[in-house]
Amino acid sequence: GIQVEQSPPDLILQEGANSTLRCNFSDSVNNLQWFHQNPWGQLINLFYIPSGTKQNGRLSATTVATERYSLLYISSSQTTDSGVYFCAAMDSSYKLIFGSGTRLLVRP
């Protein structure tokens, strides 16, 4: 099955800094999604991005499907951005396979 790898596993930023999170997947995928898991465990949908680039406020994402990776950019980070960021790739049977996540801490 599809393997999904995320890097870095942990990231500490000072408020206001920018960061890039990476997601590599081992095979072609039907879909790729980015999520933010808040401290209560809720997964918040950030991007549905099988290919191309999208932006939403301070966040943007790019997926290069032919090279099997996706990037999540966070600009001008805020303490409320802290949490775990997951990417998940959808395989041919429409199952989402999750990466191991990037744990982000933004310090004031």
Partner 1 sequence: GAVVSQHPSWVICKSGTSVKIECRSLDFQATTMFWYRQFPKQSLMLMATSNEGSKATYEQGVEKDKFLINHASLTLSTLTVTSAHPEDSSFYICSAPRLAGAYNEQFFGPGTRLTVL
Which residues of the chain form contacts with partner 1 (CB under 8 A)? 30-31, 33, 35, 40-43, 45, 48, 86, 88, 90, 94-101, 103
CB 43, min distance to partner 1, A: 4
Smaller CB distance to partner 1: residue 46 or 106?
Answer: 46
At a CB cut-off of 8 Å and minimum separation 6, what does 65 contact? Answer: 28, 29, 50, 51
Cβ atoms of 91 and 97 closer than 8 Å: yes
CB 93, min distance to partner 1, A: 8
Smaller CB distance to partner 1: residue 33 or 82?
Answer: 33
Determine the Cα–Cα distance for residues 32 and 36; give it in Å rounded to an integer: 14
Smaller CB distance to partner 1: residue 69 or 98?
Answer: 98
Which residue shows structure tokens 């949490």? 83
